[in-house]
């Protein structure tokens, strides 16, 4: 069944395909299946979300996070009348390009490739979907990745602009955000055909919001269970002024301290909010009920707000925009900022983060010096055709970004030995 509102151009693929073998499935369902069965998605199971995959069995990995984002996004898409497979595909794909060690790894590669086009996890995602992940080969013998439809590729594009047009996003690693590298401009032009300049389609907006919801709620849960966020300290109201200032520093000055305090009070007076966490079965159940409540609240309030704000019969693609209430955005920022204050900004962990960045930097240097050795099949083939320093650096970035936390450490030990 085709969701109303989509046009023929939304179903087009960069490389036209014969549909005779998949007549029973829609084009968007095929897109979702391709991402779901990709090796790039499987590799996310061994990549850091916030806590390392080696940090125990409870914490999310990039893979489990992506599955949760997809569930949140699909549910919201159905409520809005947006194609759920398009949003599901975008949600599954949204972190494919992220390197080992989470945003810390992204920072390291960004610095290493600064003079050669930079690095951005979302631009790398487009590269994987349209080039690196082998599925479709064009008439010239070049891989075109998973060859997704225009609508699904566009929905996966979180930052639809070039590096030169990007700005540093407030919060997180504060690096410049952009959606494609210069040598991927052809496929970017394809997916953005007819799109308003620098505007995200509503499917991409839903994906981005679902990511925020899952990220804020589940990373908070992981940090509590792992002992990094102390609920007793939060409930004591000691040092709340300092906490709120850290949250504002993370979220940006446009969110006032007074609004942060109000949002924190709304969250902490929730019936499922724990004054302390003891790992008892009762506490585990209560914490899980808190995550369920918050996700339902964030999605429900934002869905209602969006439906009220849009007059179009079908809000698909560029016929509508997601409208998230300010209080929802602030509550999400409080959860994210709290985890950052307790975990990311912990001075005791800074040497560990510096070591992770050193590992990726040393590894990239060693691979570059290896002149094509130690690369996987795709990267070795591209390296053989690379003519400029910029092209060679991009191959190394592709290789390092594809590694998992463990495979990066193993390759580092093999090549460098320290």
Q: If you average pLDDT over residues 180-202, what whole number do you get?
A: 97
pTM of the entire predicted model: 0.94
Where are the chain's structural domains? 8-200, 204-350, 353-415
Say yes or no to pLDDT of 380 above 70.
yes
Q: Given this model, what pLDDT does residue 87 score?
A: 99
C-alpha closest to that of 192 among 20, 367, 28, 14 = 14
CB under 8 Å, gap of 24 or more: what pairs does 25-33 form? Answer: 26/1, 26/2, 26/85, 27/149, 28/83, 28/85, 28/86, 28/89, 28/149, 28/151, 28/152, 29/85, 31/85, 31/86, 31/89, 31/146, 31/148, 31/149, 31/152, 32/85, 32/88, 32/89, 32/92, 32/152
**How much is the pLDDT for 237?**
72
pLDDT digits 0-9 by tens, 332-361: 999 999 998 887 666 777 898 899 999 999
> How far, in Å, CA of 27 to CA of 13, rounded?
10
So what's the pLDDT on residue 172? 52
Mean pLDDT of the chain, nearest integer:
92
pLDDT(171) > 60: no
Of 13-22, 113-122, 257-266, the range with the lowest mean pLDDT is 13-22
pLDDT for 291-314, tens place per residue?
999 999 999 999 999 999 998 889
**In the chain, what are the helix, strand and coil shares in percent, each to the nearest 5?**
60, 0, 35
Taking Cα atoms as reference points, which of 62, 42, 41, 39 lies closest to residue 50?
62
State the angle between helix axes of 240-251 and 326-339 in degrees (0 to 180), rounded to the nearest 10. 110
How does 355-370 read in b/e, with b if 16+ C-beta sit within 10 Å? ebbebbebbbebbbee
* C-alpha 44, offset from chain centre: 11
The pLDDT tens digits of the residues spanning 205-226 come to: 999 999 999 999 999 999 999 8
Q: Domain spanning 8-200: which superfamily? A: Hypothetical protein af1432 (1.10.3210.10)
DSSP state of 163: G
Alpha carbon distance 400, 366 (integer Å): 11
Average confidence (pLDDT) over 48-54 = 62
Nearest partner of 6 among 93, 72, 81, judged by Cα: 81
In order, the DSSP letters of 275-333 are SS----HHHHHHHHHHHHHHHHHHHHHHHHHHHHH---S---TTS------HHHHHHHH
The answer to whether residues 59 and 46 touch, using CB atoms and an 8 Å cutoff, is: no
Q: For residue 344, what pLDDT is reported?
A: 64
In the predicted structure, residue 110 carries a pLDDT above the cut 90 = yes
Helix (H) / strand (E) containing 405: helix 405-415
CA distance linking residue 47 with residue 286, whole number of Å: 28
Which is more confident, 168 or 143?
143
Please give the pLDDT value at position 179.
97
């Amino acid at each position: 069944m085709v969701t109303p509102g989509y046009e023929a151009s939304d179903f087009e693929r960069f490389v036209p395909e014969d549909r005779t073998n998949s007549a029973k499935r829609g084009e968007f369902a095929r897109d979702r299946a391709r991402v779901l069965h990709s090796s790039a998605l499987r590799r996310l199971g061994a990549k850091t979300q916030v806590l390392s995959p080696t940090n125990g069995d409870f914490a999310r990995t990039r893979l489990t996070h992506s599955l949760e984002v997809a569930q949140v996004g699909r549910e919201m898409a159905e409520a809005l009348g947006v194609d759920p497979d398009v949003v599901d595909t975008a949600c599954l794909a949204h972190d494919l390009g992220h390197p080992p060690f989470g945003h810390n790894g992204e920072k390291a590669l960004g610095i290493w490739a600064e003079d050669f086009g930079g690095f951005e996890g979302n631009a790398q995602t487009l590269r994987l979907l349209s080039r690196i992940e082998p599925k479709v080969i064009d008439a010239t013998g070049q891989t075109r990745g998973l060859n997704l439809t225009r609508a699904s590729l566009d929905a996966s594009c979180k930052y639809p602009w070039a590096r030169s047009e990007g700005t540093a996003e407030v919060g997180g690693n504060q690096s410049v955000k952009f959606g494609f590298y210069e040598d991927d401009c052809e496929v970017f032009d394809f997916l953005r055909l007819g799109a308003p300049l620098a505007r995200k389609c509503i499917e991409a907006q839903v994906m981005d919001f679902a990511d925020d919801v899952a990220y804020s709620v589940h990373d908070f849960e992981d940090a509590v269970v792992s002992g990094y966020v102390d609920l007793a300290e939060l409930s004591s109201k000691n040092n709340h002024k300092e906490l709120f200032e850290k949250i504002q520093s993370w979220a940006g000055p446009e969110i006032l301290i007074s609004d942060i305090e109000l949002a924190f009070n709304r969250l902490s007076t929730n019936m499922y909010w724990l004054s302390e966490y003891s790992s008892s079965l009762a506490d585990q159940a209560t914490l899980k009920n808190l995550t369920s409540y918050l996700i339902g609240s964030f999605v429900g309030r934002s869905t209602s707000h969006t439906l009220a704000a849009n007059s179009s019969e079908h809000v698909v693609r560029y016929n509508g925009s997601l409208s998230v209430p300010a209080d929802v955005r602030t509550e999400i920022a409080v959860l994210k900022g709290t985890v950052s204050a307790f975990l990311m900004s912990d001075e005791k962990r800074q040497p560990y983060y510096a070591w992770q960045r050193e590992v990726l930097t040393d590894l990239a240097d060693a691979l570059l010096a290896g002149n094509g050795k130690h690369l996987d099949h795709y990267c070795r083939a591209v390296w053989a055709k690379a003519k400029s320093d910029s092209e060679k650096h991009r191959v190394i970035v592709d290789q390092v970004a594809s590694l998992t936390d463990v495979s990066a450490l193993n390759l580092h030990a093999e090549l460098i030995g320290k």
